[in-house]
Amino acid sequence: DAGITQSPRHKVTETGTPVTLRCHQTENHRYMYWYRQDPGHGLRLIHYSYGVKDTDKGEVSDGYSVSRSKTEDFLLTLESATSSQTSVYFCAISDNLAGYQETQYFGPGTRLLVL
């Protein structure tokens, strides 16, 4: 597995509380991504980053924000968690070759339950 870790791996929280998930990589890859995985929906992109302090929205970004202050870390924040954000969250990384994103490798995932 590529050098990707996620923390925490499991979290239970209450509606309305802020939550931050962390993705850490040791591969020095340029691109980092946050996905959520829900039954019947596959993997959906929340936000991604193409460099330090360079981020953009994915297809399901409402209610989420991200930050990337260092190459190795990409944080996903739920400002005020809702039950609809109960999901499994995966971080992914990919490198850049000749201006193109290369293969994506996934982290181990974080299971989030919002009560």
Partner 1 sequence: GENVEQHPSTLSVQEGDSAVIKCTYSDSASNYFPWYKQELGKRPQLIIDIRSNVGEKKDQRIAVTLNKTAKHFSLHITETQPEDSAVYFCAARRGQGNLIFGKGTKLSVKP
The distance of closest approach from Cβ of residue 20 to partner 1 in the complex, given in angstroms and rounded to an integer, is: 20
**62 near partner 1, judged by CB under 8 A:** no
**61 near partner 1, judged by CB under 8 A:** no
**104 near partner 1, judged by CB under 8 A:** yes
Residues 23-52 that bind partner 1 (CB under 8 A): 33, 40-45, 48
As a whole number of angstroms, the distance between CA 31 and CA 92 comes to 8
**64 near partner 1, judged by CB under 8 A:** no
**Count of CB atoms situated within 10 Å of the CB of 74:** 29
As a whole number of angstroms, the distance between CA 112 and CA 115 comes to 10
112 in Cβ contact with 9 (< 8 Å): no
